[in-house]
Structure 1
Amino acid sequence: MSPWYLYLVRTLDNRLYTGITTNVERRFSQHQTGKGAKALRGKGELTLAFSHLVGDRSSALRLEYRIKQLPKASKEMLVKGILPFEDLLADLQKTPEIKTPG
């Protein structure tokens, strides 16, 4: 089982895209060549702004959702290291996972 990573990609117009993957280099390369997320296609030069090991896929998905809900200023603090990634992980571990029926 491969470990999962969370990453943020900065677009030319300074937006931050949040995603998860098991291989950051491969996924970023896909984004750069237009084979990644539609949200990044045609956005010009991309920069990998942040990446961090999360652990398992479930935690990565939950953290991705949480970070996508953050305001841009908080995402920028995460990129700059002002908002410690470990704090986000700790908060995630405190929150029980929601089980879906089926």
Structure 2
Amino acid sequence: MPWVYILECQDGSLYTGSTWNLEKRLAEHQAGLGAKHTRKRLPVKLVFCEFSDRIDVAYAREKQIQGWRREKKLALIAEKHDTLPKLADTNPKPKAK
């Protein structure tokens, strides 16, 4: 089952990812086998997850959330869905080269 998820790292940073198997992926992150970002910031805590019917939809959602500012991600985590449109990025983060 495809999932998109957000982890809160020990330093307070947020990591967004997608996976077929959420339980397995969380175990990988906790064991230091996840992304470079999370490996250096253990332990991590799952703060948001969302099921999708298709992996391509989950991946697209992951990329969408990754482009959001922290404030908007925190609103999503807090389930303040009515505030998300107001938090639209006027100055999105620059894309990595």
State the distance in 2 between where 1:66 and 1:44 align.
24
- Other-structure match for 1:90: none
Query: Which structure 2 residues correspond to residues 25-40 of structure 1 after superposition, within 5 A?
Result: 25-40=23-38
Asked if the contact 1:4/1:60 (under 8 Å) is kept, the reply is yes
Query: Which structure 2 residues correspond to residues 7-46 of structure 1 after superposition, within 5 A?
Result: 7-46=5-44
Amino acid across the alignment from 2:73:
K
* Aligned Cα root-mean-square deviation (Å): 1.5
State the distance in 2 between where 1:55 and 1:15 align.
28
Which has more radius of gyration?
1
State the distance in 2 between where 1:58 and 1:26 align.
19
Output one character per residue of 1:17-71: Cα deviation in whole Å (capped at 9) or x when no partner: 0000111111011000011111111213210111110221111111111100011
Tell me by how many angstroms 1:14 deviates: 1.0
Normalised to the residue count of structure 1, the TM-score between the two structures is 0.76
Asked if the contact 1:74/1:83 (under 8 Å) is kept, the reply is no
- Other-structure match for 2:65: 67
Gaps of 5+ in 1: 88-102
Asked if the contact 1:11/1:47 (under 8 Å) is kept, the reply is yes
Normalised to the residue count of structure 2, the TM-score between the two structures is 0.79
Calculate percent identity across the aligned residue pairs.
29
Amino acid across the alignment from 1:21:
T
Gaps of 5+ in 2: 85-97
Amino acid across the alignment from 2:64:
R
